Amino acid sequence: MNDILKLNAVEASAAMQKGDTSSVELTKAYLAAANATAALNNYVTLCEDKALEMAQQSDKRRADGRVRPLEGLPIGVKDLFCTSGVETTACSDILRGFVPTYESTVTEKLWAAGGVMLGKLNCDEFAMGSANETSVFGPAVNPWSAANGSELAAGGSSGGSASAVAAGSALLATGTDTGGSIRQPAAFCGVVGMKPTYGRCSRWGIVAFASSLDQAGPFTRTVEDSALMFQAMAGHDPKDSTSANLPVPDMTAALAKGVKGLKIGIPYEYVMDGMDPAITALWETGQSWLKDAGAELVPISLPYTKYALPTYYIIAPAEASSNLARYDGVRYGQRITEGGSLDEMYEATRAAGFGDEVKRRIMIGTYALSAGYYDAYYLKAQQVRRLIRQDFETAFQTVNAILTPATPSAAFPLGEKQDDPVTMYLNDVFTVPANLAGIPGISVPAGFSESGLPLGLQVLSGAFCEDTLYQVARCLELQAGLSSEPPRHASAGL
């Protein structure tokens, strides 16, 4: 079949069902594309034998009439998800050689739904970063770099996932979002990235960054694909104490409802000084699209939004300092045995195993939790977090969804912001509030910057209202009318 890589997930499923292609053929095409785009550095492990074996099993099931929701679809997995028998490093030296004997709940659900595992995808070390530049394997590269003439950041922390879906080397991909790590790279790479409500997808088997913020979600080329993949990922898991024991509505059914009669909130606080004028213009265009489709635009205020970024950068490092204390060289991963004492082994292992950004956040978090500072920093941040959540709860009493920009800029050149952590952290200014509030959000590709780089619009909805999220996102996608064909560029060999 010609142009097999141009099919989105729904189209690929239909093609396999009609017998126009097979999972083995589709998987081989994606493995070839992954090898051809190796310069993008979006895979850290390519599982060719495993992928083909899973594809063969899928084709057998289809032949027997046992078709599952994601039957035969090739999926890339962020290297934060534990995968049985496949090295899982969180893109950190300290976990080199760690091969889990178990599968994360989310990936287990994807394979149970018929998905085929292509390999593990690059990300920032322990998901700490906004450009995928903290990975021990080096940065993933944005496939749109050719449009700019220099290598661009794919975003972070799930940069490899966004890059692979955009480049056509993964049909679908998993990501995690702690402060925007799905939505920001999705916007940078021109794909759809969705963060579910906290508790909607199990965190079991995902390497933890900040446990009260982390949430798994899908990267796809279309909103419909996103709804399909999210449906397979979501659901209660008794192994995760924060997993919500709630039914998951039919997300694909929501796509056809349109937005007529919905009230869409437009928050004053998301107008920022210095924001790219193209993003401001796109936000205004998005509002017009929704209004033309029958939605009512409602100005709203989220007054505590301005405190979201400093609040996040106290809470997230504090939780990281606790979570990363388990990496000590004793039970798994790297061990440095300089010196004779246990303390010296701990110190040498962590000094060699953790990168600079991870060390920075561990130290910030440890300081914020230390005696004499806990009340002033961590406790105060939790109190402000509650106020941020209340802002959204109040807003959703009068509106069904909220429309904002996804990022304050288009993708920037690799290395441009790496030496200035605060400037890098500002990339998360529009995405962090949703994580603090625990609500779902989605980034939809909706336009382009003056230099031809993709820009995204973000939709937020109330907790466990992902169906409303998809209603609005689908409307924006239809109005934008952008091609879902992944970009090609010469440096990647395509």
| Residue 236 structural domain | 4-254+442-456+476-492
DSSP-assigned states of every residue in 1-69: -TTGGG--HHHHHHHHHHTSS-HHHHHHHHHHHHHHTGGG--EEEE-HHHHHHHHHHHHHHHHTT---T
Q: Residue 403's pLDDT is what?
A: 98
Q: How many residues does the chain have?
A: 494
In a domain, 246, yes or no: yes
In a domain, 78, yes or no: yes
H-state helical runs in 70-118: 105-112
491 has catalytic annotation: no
Strand partners, 297: 264
Structure tokens at 445: 């590709």
CATH of the domain at 18: 3.90.1300.10
Examine residue 341 and say whether the peptide bond preceding it is cis (omega within 30 degrees of 0). no
Q: Identify the band that residue 340 occupies on the pLDDT scale cut at 50, 70 and 90.
A: confident
Burial 131-153 (b: 16+ CB within 10 A, else e): bbbbbbbebbbbbbbbbbeebbb
In a domain, 424, yes or no: no
Pairing of strands 116-121, 192-195: unpaired
In a domain, 172, yes or no: yes
Q: Is the pLDDT of residue 12 over 60?
A: yes
Of the candidates 13, 130, 157, 443, the residue annotated as catalytic is 157
Residue type, 226: S
Structure tokens at 385: 């977090």
359 has catalytic annotation: no
In a domain, 269, yes or no: no
Q: How many distinct structural domains can be found in the chain?
A: 1
Of the candidates 22, 58, 78, 130, the residue annotated as catalytic is 78
Q: Residue 494's pLDDT is what?
A: 41
In a domain, 121, yes or no: yes
In a domain, 312, yes or no: no
Contact 121, 170 (CB under 8 A): yes
Backbone angles phi, psi at 28, to 5 degrees: -60, -40
Q: What is the mean pLDDT of the chain?
A: 94
Q: Find the mean pLDDT for residues 391-417.
A: 96
- Candidates 30, 388, 451; CA nearest to 213 is 388
Q: Residue 332's pLDDT is what?
A: 81
Neighbours of 445 (CB within 10 A): 27
Tens of pLDDT along 285-297? 999 999 999 999 9
CA distances to 55, 67, 104, 277, 467 from 110, in Å: 13, 13, 10, 40, 20
The C-alpha torsion from 288 through 279 and 466 to 263, rounded to 10°, is -30
Tens of pLDDT along 426-445? 889 999 999 999 999 999 99
End-to-end CA distance of the chain: 18
Q: Residue 487's pLDDT is what?
A: 52
Q: Is the pLDDT of residue 1 over 60?
A: no
- The model carries a pTM of 0.95
150 has catalytic annotation: no
- Candidates 396, 386, 486; CA nearest to 441 is 396
Of the candidates 92, 181, 243, 484, the residue annotated as catalytic is 181
CA distances to 204, 425, 437, 440 from 386, in Å: 25, 21, 8, 17
In a domain, 486, yes or no: yes
